[in-house]
Amino acid sequence: MKTTNYVSSLVICMALGMYTSQAQNEPQKDSTGLPGDHFSLAGALEMFKKAGSPEEFEKLLNQEENGVNNLDLNNDSDIDYVKVINKKDGDVQLFILQIPVSASENQDVAVIELEKTGTETAVLQIIGDEDLYGDETILEPDDAAASETTFSTLPSRGPSAENGEYNTFHTSAGIIVNVWAWPVVRFVYAPSYGVWVSPWGWGRRPGWWRPWRPIGWRAFHPMRYRYPNRYVVVHTHRVVRARPLYRPVRVSSVTVRTRNQVAVRNYRAGRTVQSRTVTTASGRKVQATRKTTTVQGRNGRKATRTTTTVRKKRT
């Protein structure tokens, strides 16, 4: 009997130890109180990867079962419809995710910046808008997303898909995931493609769309974080030419800024900014700006995020 009790106690202790270890290794998650807590940037990239066209991408964003959108920026107790607006300049394309807040106001949620960098290479990032996320939040695919890319639509010429050369490519910034195999990327770079501008807006919605009620952060959080292993937060803009293309057309709602100004102010209160000139290995001088933000969530936990933006120094 003593032996049985000892073994039972040992098993229980081991189980508790494993549970404690898992709990300690699991990241401490908390809401920042910002609207961006209710929109999954990683989920948006997953829908972009899944879509065959910008129109289909917009539809996927606005389907409840995909768990991407939980925003209600105008507080009408219905989920907001996210429309997609495409703009391009040569090989650089923008896909602006925007919400009609009222008959006279719109608010950008995020922008996908895409650039064709070679005959069969392309790179993209999604940047969450500072009005919703407190600061620009940049996500891009990582190697996990690349390894799951389907290559059945790739041309027969070039390296074999089995050797992984289509998945990633090397640059001075390190290994970057090649998204050329994504159906929507190939679609928007086809010679016959124009640009997609959503026909929907305030008071105009597609017949298939059925708004649903927003849910609390604790309920939405598990849905929002089912994509993170495929996409990672980074601290550098990859598509440099997209910035001057996007800034003049970025849309910000006074209503949204006013309603969330306290949460945004609290978020930015712990931010420090450092700028300095650095010289690259090739001898070129660039301006590096580092932003470090400390956030205290509603549960009292703190987290720190650092973003570094590198710009070519003017001579």
One DSSP character per residue, 29-96 reads ----SSGGGGB-HHHHHHHHHH-SSHHHHHHHHT-GGG--B---TT-SSSPPPPEEEEEEETTEEEEE
pLDDT cut 90: percent of the chain above it:
55
Res. 277 pLDDT band, cuts 50 70 90: low
Structural domain that includes position 233: 35-270
- Would you say residue 199 lies in a domain? yes
- Would you say residue 154 lies in a domain? yes
- Would you say residue 286 lies in a domain? no
Res. 153 pLDDT band, cuts 50 70 90: very low
What pLDDT score does 114 carry?
Answer: 98
What pLDDT score does 270 carry?
Answer: 62
Under DSSP, is residue 225 helix (H, G, I), strand (E, B) or coil? coil
**Longest alpha-carbon distance in the chain:** 83
The predicted-structure confidence for 4-30, as pLDDT tens digits, reads as follows 444 444 443 443 343 333 332 333 356
How many structural domains comprise the chain? 1
pTM: 0.73
- Would you say residue 202 lies in a domain? yes
What pLDDT score does 158 carry?
Answer: 30
Res. 267 pLDDT band, cuts 50 70 90: confident
Closest by Cα among 294, 262, 310, 254 to 101: 254
Q: Answer yes or no: is pLDDT of 151 > 50.
A: no
- Would you say residue 294 lies in a domain? no
- Would you say residue 163 lies in a domain? yes
